[in-house]
Every structure is written in structure tokens, then in C-alpha cells.
Chain A
Amino acid sequence: MKILLGVNGVSKTVEVAPMRRLLDVLRLDLALTGTKEGCGEGECGACSVLLDGVLVNACLIPICQTDGAQIVTVEGLSNGAALSPLQRSFVSEGGAQCGICTPGMLVASHALLNQTPHPSEAQIREGLAGNLCRCTGYTKIVAAVQKAAATP
């Protein structure tokens, strides 16, 4: 099946099986390896991407549902060379340790702040509850999101 989709603002065409996972198309067909796979069953959130602005797990999206859609991955979060406030605060506050959950965590945080620009701690924890991190205990991730939210 021929699929036309926008990835981080760039038009892409792929010819793949319709039930192929968006995750595999991103990582293998388009060589965008920033999006990670931790479980393959929608539990860990390491493959979080935006699909038409909505947070989804790329491992649960068959590519046939993305024809004509706009996808944003971690590679699309920075504006050229300039990091987004969230990317900056994840580094400065210690929100990234081993870094494997970080791409998904950043995408989920972007989705959260798009929806709720000034979230409470409880809203941050709920908004990121689909993204597992085994390194940080989440404290510094929450702090990073708070700092980014406070960045004008």
C-alpha cells in the first residue's frame, strides 16, 4: 500500500504492507531511529509520537491509518539547531538519564503542554503516566516539565 505522510514537516511516500506498524516505518523505512521500542504493546510509551497533533504509541498504529497524516517525532521537536524549552530543561534538570525513554517522554510532554500550558504536578504525572522511566523516579522529569512550562 502506498502511503503519503508528513514526518516532521517533510512529505514522505512509502510503499509498505498496510498493517506495518508506524514505529517500523519510522525506524526502518525512514531511518528515524529517535523513536524507541521498549515493549511492543503500548505499555511503555518509548515510541510516543504525535499523529495529527495527538499523542499516540507508534507501536499500536498500523500505517494504513496514517495516510495523509502529519507525524511529529523527537527529531522534529527542535526548531533547526535550537532546542525546545522542554529539550533544554530535560538536560539541565536531569530529566534524561539513560535516555531511552527520553524521546517518548519529550513528545508526551509536548502534547501535555500543548493541551495544558501550565500544568500542576498532578496533571504532569497523569499526562506522563503512559511513559515508563526506570532511571529517574520521575521527580526530575516533573521538574523539567515545570521549568519548561515556566519558560516564556
Chain B
Amino acid sequence: MIASINVVIPRTKDAALATLAENAGKCTLLAGGTDLMVALEDGRFTSKLVVDLSRLTELRFVRRESDELVIGALATYTDLLRSPHVAQMAPELVLCAREVGAAAIQNRGTLAGSVANASPAGDPLPVLLARDAGIEVASVRGTRTILATQFFVGYRRTALAPDEMITAIRIPAPKVGERFYWRKVGTRRAQSIAKMVLALRATATNGTLQAIAIGVGCAGPTPLRTPKTEALVAGQRLDKMLIDEARRSLAAEVAPIDDLRSTAVYRRRVAGNVLATFLASLT
């Protein structure tokens, strides 16, 4: 079976895009392999053509471009952990990268790979949602940037066209006074799949919550934002009553399921509690 899979190894982005255009919908992209190889071993992988992107060194970068943190599609989690730009502009992404698998997975796994894989439990995806990140995608037809909030369209489905691939992730620079938070509740402390992931971005001054963005994982078929709860608390005074309301609202707004790792009831409770504790820390 493995013997029947062909691999194309483009050396440039343009060559990769040309291959993609030729084989749109019939090939699977390979970067670090940490998801694809598991699927292959499981017999869940059915594609007959793999496009190995690992030689596209031009896409392996992490840099600051004026008011954006730009993470190339081939940047690994280890690259994120070592980048001063990430530490400065997305400290919650550092916390997140440290908890993706363990060292060997961080050395191979890429942020863009997690985005393309679009698992509702994908560790970094709530960060990208809460940060209003852009997903830069390219095809022979050109380049466009899709907002993370519009990228995850269904269970493991994305807004990528069949001939497109992710080239970079763009995260807006922090605004003055913005606070960031990330929390994964997993099955254990390393090498774990999330039960619940919460990423938060908030601005609070003098006891009032000016703005908040909430990204949640394991809370539905896709990683999601929670607009109702955000609207409920934004602009409000951060007192105990509001915090309790926020807790209840988020617990009600998420739509998790029971699975092997946890229960829907637990996930609702934890999402609400983690948000409440974060809000309390802002007062």
C-alpha cells in the first residue's frame, strides 16, 4: 500500500504551486509529517500522491514585518520557541508551542500544518482566532489572506481551495495594553491531546474590560470564537457579578462533545472557569 504512493518533492514554492494546480484535489501536502504519518500507519490515508514541501526553505522563517508577526508555512514549533519575535509579539504562542507533543514533535510539526489539519483540538488554533490572525494562502492564481475566523469552515474542513496551500500565518502586533492568555487542559502534562483549549486577548483599564477576544478549542466541530460572550462582557465593569456571568455565558456558548478524552459537561465547566479566573486576574 505504502509502495503505491507517489511523492513529488518540489524545490521552490512556484514548483509546488504548479504541482498543486496540476493535481488539485488529488494530492496531499506533507510538511513535518506528524499528522500524516499517523494517518498512514492507521490505514486512514487514501491519497495516492504526496507533495513533500519540506525542501521549500524559502517558507521556513519567522520574522517581523512592520505591524505583523509573520510565520512561514515550514516554521516548526521549535522555530517558534527559539524566535525572539514570537516571544515578543505572541507570548501565548510560546506557551502553546511548548505543550505541543514533546521535543521530537515540536522539531517536526509546523504551525501551518496544524492550521491545514484543522482539528477542533488543534492546540494553537484558538490563539490564531483570538489574535485575528490571517492565513496567507497561494496558488498559481495568486496570493490571498483569509482571516483565521473565516478559515475553519467545518469538521476538519478549511476555506482552502483545492489548488491552494498555506504560505504563512500573519499575526497582528499587540496593541498597547493588550493581555494574552493561553491554557490547554490535556490528558497529561506533555505528549497530550487537549480536552479543552482557551486563548484570550483582552484590554482592561481601571477595572473596565475594554475589549476581549475568546478562542476555544474542543468546543465544537471547529475551533471557534464566542461572539455572544465577548459581546456580553466587552465594555463592562469587571466585578464579581460580571465574571460569574461570563463564566456561565461561555459554558453555555461552547458546544463540546463527549469523547474518549473527556465529557461535554466537563469541557463547558472548564471553559467557563478558566475564563473567569483570567478575568479576575485583570481586576
The residues of A with any CB-CB pair to B shorter than 8 Å are 1, 17-21, 40-43, 45, 48, 54-57, 59-62, 64-65, 108, 111-112, 126-127, 129-132
The residues of B with any CB-CB pair to A shorter than 8 Å are 2-3, 5-7, 9, 30, 32-34, 37-38, 40-42, 50, 52, 54, 78, 98, 101-105, 107-108, 189-191
Residues in B with CB closer than 8 Å to A132 are 191
Given A17-B2, A65-B54, A129-B191, A60 and B7 contact (CB-CB distance below 8 Å)? no
Q: Which of A42, A62, A65 contacts B105 (CB 8 A)?
A: A42
Report yes or no: B2 in contact with A20, Cβ–Cβ below 8 A: yes
Report yes or no: B52 in contact with A55, Cβ–Cβ below 8 A: no
Residues in B with CB closer than 8 Å to A60 are 32-34, 37-38, 105, 108
Report yes or no: B5 in contact with A18, Cβ–Cβ below 8 A: yes
Residues in B with CB closer than 8 Å to A20 are 2
**Nearest CB on B from A42, distance (A):** 6
Residues in B with CB closer than 8 Å to A108 are 103-104
Report yes or no: A45 in contact with B102, Cβ–Cβ below 8 A: yes
Report yes or no: A129 in contact with B190, Cβ–Cβ below 8 A: yes
How long is the Cα–Cα vector from A131 to B216 in the complex, in angstroms?
29
Report yes or no: B37 in contact with A62, Cβ–Cβ below 8 A: yes
- Interface hub of A20, A48, A56, A126 (most chain B Cβ within 10 A): A56
Given A45-B102, A129-B191, A62 and B38 contact (CB-CB distance below 8 Å)? no
Listed from nearest, the 4 A-B pairs whose CB atoms lie closest are A130-B102, A129-B190, A18-B7, A129-B102
Q: Which of B9, B38, B189, B191 contacts A64 (CB 8 A)?
A: B9
Given A42-B38, A54-B107, A64 and B52 contact (CB-CB distance below 8 Å)? yes
Closest to A43 in B: B191
How long is the Cα–Cα vector from A42 to B30 in the complex, in angstroms?
16
